[in-house]
Structure 1
Amino acid sequence: MCNSAPKAKLLAALSLAFTFGLSFAASPAQADENGWIDGEQEVVRERPRRPRSQAPDSGNYGGNQPNFVDQSQGRRDYDDGGNGGGDEGARRSQPDQSAGNTNPVLTIKAGSNTISGGISSSTFRNSSRSYRGLDKMSTRFLQQAPFLDLPQTIAVQPSTFKNWLEQYHTGALAAFSRTTIIEIKGQWDDSGHILRSFGLPFTRIPPSKVGDTDLSGTKILVVNCGANLNADALKKVRKFVQDGGYLLTTDWALDSCLEKAFPGYVEWNSDYTENSVVDAVVVDDDPVLLVGMPRVAYWKLENRSQTVKVLRGREVQVLARSRTLMQRECSNLGILALTFSFGAGRVLHLVGHFDNNADRAFNNALPDPSPMIGISLRQAIAGNFVVAALKGDMKEEGEAPPAESNDTQ
């Protein structure tokens, strides 16, 4: 009897604790402000993942504005010496998200956003700055460029391409024959579709026939993405450019053609793009290859397009870059189009394809039409390049504009 009271108290305390425990266990699990979940279950917290870009849906990005973030850590713009010089460019304009406006619309004064020509490129290039498109001037272009509204996929008829060509290159079409342009067939890109839209005659050959093809009357070779050339064909392409020919390559031809035929200029940086439409900013003032270009536009990238590393910055001229792509590829440069001279000729490379590539059954659907010109920026740059091959713009003479100093922002 002397121990019954303490035992009773102990049993009562245990009963109360058991009842409280059941009540606590029955309550629903609660998540704290950091996303952790407490309760009788294993706590799992998923690492944040980079959102994947979606293919354009119903004529736009899929409804989501790309998230532009500051790239001051890792930007690689170059000054004249090739060292640094890109910090100011990282502090670029951000999209206006105020008042619920998620689709800022570009307001352009008449004539202020189209690049004009009127001079040749030979003296211009030879007397101007190094690291073109990667220097402080290009940083300012990136910093000052507005962000456009989301792109709308449109149906582009061949007449639109022909009208653009006639507007900026009056009478040039008559100078082309079927041997002026040789297109080397690839697995993924179809440059011939756009050449036909421009009204340009051309001859298409498989990669296996390059060695047997007479190039004496040819001004430009087009190597499509997925065209695999053997060693003899690569040597012939190199000799063709060295002797004054023009070479246009797209996408995977970076790795399969440019790196091998012209080592030491550019290379694939082992990174890929996603299937998306990104912003595009013209970052140079080339009077031949960029005539008629809008300063700001869009650019269609394919799934697993190869991104670029520039090895010889004093010779390679970058024409267009993307602030969106800068976030997604390891070089942090977002290069979309580049060119360089080799011997008496010239090379142009496009990240992505020359064809429309709208991922739809209708091959006239264009997912990245540029403001004011109707066709895409990538197609217009390539069109200028094709016409420049007729005369060889590196051989022309003309008055060069004064080179701008790279020492000031």
Structure 2
Amino acid sequence: MLLALLLALSHVESAEVVIVAGSADHMEHVMQRAGVKFALITPDQLPSTPLRWQQILMVNCTGQMSPEARERVRRFVNAGGMLYTTDHAVHYLLEAIFPGKVRFNQKSSAEQIFPMQVKGDRGLVAKINDHGEPRWQLAGGGMLFDVLDPSVEILMRSREVAARYQTSGVLGVRFRHGDGQVVHVTGHFFTQPGQTREVAAAGRAFEQLSENVVREKQVDMPRVERLYSAEALKPAPMLAEPKDAAAPVTAPSGGTVSTATAKKVRVLRSEGGYVEIRDDQGNQGWVPAQSLQQ
């Protein structure tokens, strides 16, 4: 069991995309078709997974996971990582770690294809309109959601979904948290041989958005890179407060956190000979100022 875990996690550091396996979605198939290098892990492996802000984390529906795994995801996004989630994850993951952004509105969808209207960021929705009127497939038992925060950017919505379910009709959103960002859509699937033209068109829209997420992360990399400008000169344990006797910062998987594995860190503020930093895995705490080169 331990050997299998180590082998699985050894592929994570070199992967552009890390995908959390789910029971109702398979984004790994989309990435495989797009030729994107990815690592596939289970929700139970998340707390110990060395996610770094340079990566994209894709969480397949349902998004159910332990509190420790949710904390690992929160730190990853806070550090500058990009999170991409589908359907039930709005309730089981996003509501828990990003309260006040989006919320399951207690209305479940039937499996049906609807026309949709694309708006918002041109990078994330690029090419979705290239094959005529775009369509989107809602999943049977899918969780429709509402936007709670006006800073959340609506990428896709459907007037027809709004009329059918008496909701806002929002299908996809993007919002920022800390130094990172989150993209969420309702529905999940991919194109397969033998599908009808309408179903295949809806599948292409989902696949195109998924590929756009990868490109958007590449565009965003320089912005986050500039934030991580300090270098750890020597290993130093991260502390919860700026004083010698402070409690150590703990990792989601347990154990203490230090700057030993961080190549670059982000300086947040200084106080009394200490500096509050964030490492590339999203761990945050105080270290002596002399342990850094700024």
Does TM-score exceed 0.5, indicating one fold?
yes
Is the contact between residue 138 and residue 186 of structure 2 (CA under 8 Å) also seen in structure 1? yes
For residue 363 of structure 1, report the CA deviation from its aligned partner: 8.1
Do the aligned partners of 1:183 and 1:221 also contact (CA within 8 Å) in 2?
A: yes
Which 5+ residue runs of structure 1 have no aligned equivalent?
1-175, 397-409
User: Which residue of 106, 115, 119 corresponds with 1:279?
Assistant: 115
CA contact (8 A) 1:273 1:304 kept: yes
Which protein is bigger by CA-based radius of gyration? 1
Q: Which residue of 2 aligns with 1:379?
A: 207
Q: Which residue of 2 aligns with 1:345?
A: 180
Aligned pair partner of 1:300 in 126, 134, 137: 137
SS in 1 for 2:46: helix
Query: Deviations for 1:103-126, whole angstroms, at most 9, x for unmatched residues?
Result: xxxxxxxxxxxxxxxxxxxxxxxx
Give the residue type in structure 2 aligned to 1:266.
V
Pair 1:212–1:192, CA change in 2 (3 A): same
The verdict on how the C-alpha distance between 1:266 and 1:217 changes in structure 2, with shifts beyond 3 A counting, is closer
Q: Does 1:182 align with 2:18?
A: yes
TM-superposed CA distance for 1:231, in Å, is: 0.7
Which residue type is aligned with residue 237 of structure 1?
V
Whether the aligned pair in 2 keeps the contact of 1:273 and 1:328 (CA below 8 Å) is no
Answer whether contact 2:13 2:50 (CA < 8 A) is retained. no
Q: How does 1:184-333 map to 2 (within 5 A)?
A: 184-216=20-52, 218-284=54-120, 286-294=121-129, 296-313=133-150, 315-331=151-167, 333=168
Q: What TM-score does the superposition give when structure 1 sets the normalisation length? A: 0.48
Cα distance in 1 for partners of 2:49, 2:106 equals 32
Shift of 1:287: 2.8
1:365 Cα shift? 7.1
RMSD: 2.5
Distance 1:252 1:206 in 2: 16
* Deviation by residue 1:208-234 (Cα, 9 ceiling, x = unmatched): 000111113751000010231111111
Q: Bigger CA drift: 213-222 or 197-206?
A: 213-222
Identity of aligned residues (%): 27
Deviations 1:182-210 (A, max 9, x none): 10011110111111111111110010000
The CA distance in 2 between the partners of 1:394 and 1:255, in whole Å, is 32
1:94-243 matches, within 5 Å, as 178-216=14-52, 218-243=54-79
CA contact (8 A) 1:299 1:376 kept: no
Task: Indicate the residue corresponding to 1:144 in structure 2.
Answer: none
In 2, the alpha carbon distance for the partners of 1:262 and 1:279 equals: 29
Structure 2 unaligned spans of 5+: 1-11, 225-294
How many residues of Structure 1 are paired with residues of Structure 2 in the alignment? 211
What is the CA-CA distance between 1:328 and the residue it aligns to? 2.5
Distance 2:197 2:50 in 1: 34
What is the letter of the counterpart of residue 227 of structure 1? Answer: G
Verify the 8 A CA contact 2:52 2:81 in the aligned structure 1. no
Structure 1 SS opposite 2:106: strand
Match of 1:395 in 2: 223
Q: Deviations over 1:151-197 (max 9, x none)?
A: xxxxxxxxxxxxxxxxxxxxxxxxx9852211001111011111111
2:160 maps to amino acid:
T
Q: 2:199 — aligned with what?
A: 368
Secondary structure class of the residue paired with 2:95? helix
Measured after TM superposition, the shift of residue 279 of structure 1 is: 0.7
Higher relative contact order (CA 8 A, sep 6+): 1
Q: How far apart are the structure 2 equivalents of 1:247 and 1:304?
A: 23
Report the AA paired with residue 302 of structure 1: A
2:141 is paired with a residue whose SS is coil
When the two structures are superposed, what TM-score results if normalisation uses the length of structure 2? 0.66
Q: What secondary structure does 2:77 align onto?
A: helix
Q: Is the 8 A contact 2:190 2:203 kept in 1?
A: no
How far off its partner does 1:251 sit? Answer: 0.7
Q: Name the CA shift for 1:250/1:365 in 2 (closer, same or farther; >3 Å).
A: farther
